[in-house]
A and B are shown apart, each in its own frame.
Chain A
Amino acid sequence: MSLVFYLFAALTLAGGLAAVLLKNTIHCALALTVAFAGLALLFLDLDAQFAGFAQILVYIGAVAILVVFAILLTRSSETPKDGVYSKNWLAGLAIAAGVFAVLAWAVLQSAGGLPQGAAATPAVTVLQIGNALLGRYVLPLEIVALLLTAAMIGAVIVAMHEKERAQR
């Protein structure tokens, strides 16, 4: 596990922590973007180039901007007077800590059974990904296309201003 991996992991975790701890919502959204960038770098470190670039394009180029627009449209960038954490924050924290404890225990227990060492770098070309998408994974591809269309239409309908019953 090289220095580069530690650096990227630290960047991602710092971004994630900032995203849930900061008071100003827009700063949270920007910290989320840093976390996305850190994750894209981790994907590139793991030789998943297509996934890394797709992560940047989709998450930073679209989802982050969507989050930011939603924050602006709901006026959440003004700091609320009641504080930013809910009443039962301790329970939430405890649950999250419990989940982390279970997952970490599972990983460390089975560290012996996991594949050892670094395997040879898989040479993945975009051609192979394309062939796989239209070969073995064509059904998920079509379903995701349908899902994205439905989501787009649904989001527009949900968020649209209702047409006023105009006085004709």
Chain B
Amino acid sequence: MSQATPLAGCLLVAALLFSIGLAGALTRRNAILVLIGIELMLNAANLNLIAFWRYGPHPEALTGMMFAIFSIAVAAAEAAVGLGLVIQVHRHARSTDLDAMNRMKG
């Protein structure tokens, strides 16, 4: 790292967390773990937003913080609906294994 600014540190942590979440979402079999990966990715994006808000040019405009707060709310809504869908699919197919559910035929 040429200049280890605090902002660069935060961005690297967020990028690492994002890729960990992406790896989880792409490699796990269980549908719920895919949703866990998605939550990690959303959180990494929130960290990015807050980091840019803090070290950006106009922190008093509160843009980054507002964006992060809305992102938290939307992520909660998305988790609720996603998990509801997983529960309903489990009721139908008796399993949450994504490798087995690769056809639309019920």
Contact = CB atoms under 8 A, between A and B. Distances in A.
Direct contact between the two chains A and B in their complex (CB within 8 A): yes
Interface of A: 1, 5, 9, 12-13, 16-17, 19-20, 25, 28-29, 32, 35-36, 39, 42-43, 46-48, 50-51, 54-55, 58-59, 62-63, 66-67, 69-71, 73-76, 80, 82-89, 91-93, 95-97, 99-100, 103-104, 107-108, 111-112, 114-119, 122, 124, 128-129, 132-133, 137, 140, 144, 147-148, 151-152, 154-156, 158-159
Given A32-B40, A148-B77, A25 B72 contact: no
Contacts of A73: 87, 90
A111 B2 contact: yes
B69 A51 contact: yes
Contact of B57 (A50, A108, A115): A115
A51 B65 contact: yes
A9 B74 CA distance: 24
Given A48-B54, A80-B97, A152-B80, A96 B33 contact: no
B23 A92 contact: yes
Nearest to B87: A159
B36 to A, nearest CB: 5
20 contacts: A16-B40, A20-B24, A20-B27, A42-B50, A46-B10, A46-B50, A59-B43, A66-B80, A67-B83, A85-B27, A86-B28, A86-B99, A95-B26, A96-B23, A100-B19, A103-B18, A108-B1, A117-B6, A137-B66, A144-B73
B33 to A, nearest CB: 6
Interface of B: 1-13, 15-30, 32-33, 35-37, 39-40, 43, 46-47, 50-51, 53-57, 59-60, 62, 65-66, 68-70, 72-81, 83-88, 90, 96-99
Contact of A12 (B7, B17, B69): B17
Please list the 3 inter-chain residue pairs (A to B) with the smallest Cβ-Cβ separation, ordered nearest first.
A92-B26, A20-B24, A151-B77
Given A114-B5, A129-B62, A159-B88, 10 more contacts: A39-B47, A69-B83, A80-B30, A103-B18, A107-B12, A108-B1, A111-B8, A114-B8, A118-B55, A151-B78
